Amino acid sequence: MTHGAGDETSTEYEGVPHMNDVDEEADEATDPARLVERQPTGDDAVDTVLDELDAVADEPLDSQIQAGEQVHRVLQGRLADLGKE
């Protein structure tokens, strides 16, 4: 049996999510309002940079990258300090 081009684009497969369903699920997964509130770590330096990272979640990517790099530097520093305590 042959199918026309219209049939191929409208075919629904049971158990396979439709493209729009996948997009909606992705939006829900990344929606900050749906994320669990982060608990304090007990380390003021780490908590401060994580708060700064949270604050730029809706900012342009450059701002997010800068904040992420700052978090990375602070975490590296704190891990390096663990052996010295």
Residue 13 phi/psi, 5-degree rounding, is -110, 130
Tens of pLDDT, residue by residue over 13-23, are 566 655 555 55
Tens of pLDDT, residue by residue over 28-77, are 555 555 567 889 999 999 999 999 999 999 999 999 999 999 999 999 99
Cβ contact 40:47 at 8 Å: yes
Give per-residue burial for 35-57: e unless 16+ CB within 10 Å, then b: eeeeeeeeeeebeebbebbeebe
Residue 41 phi/psi, 5-degree rounding, is -85, -20
Kindly report whether the global pTM for this prediction surpasses the value 0.75. Answer: no
Instruction: Round to whole Å and give the CA distance between 58 and 24.
Output: 18
> What residue segments make up the domains of the chain, in order of their start?
8-82
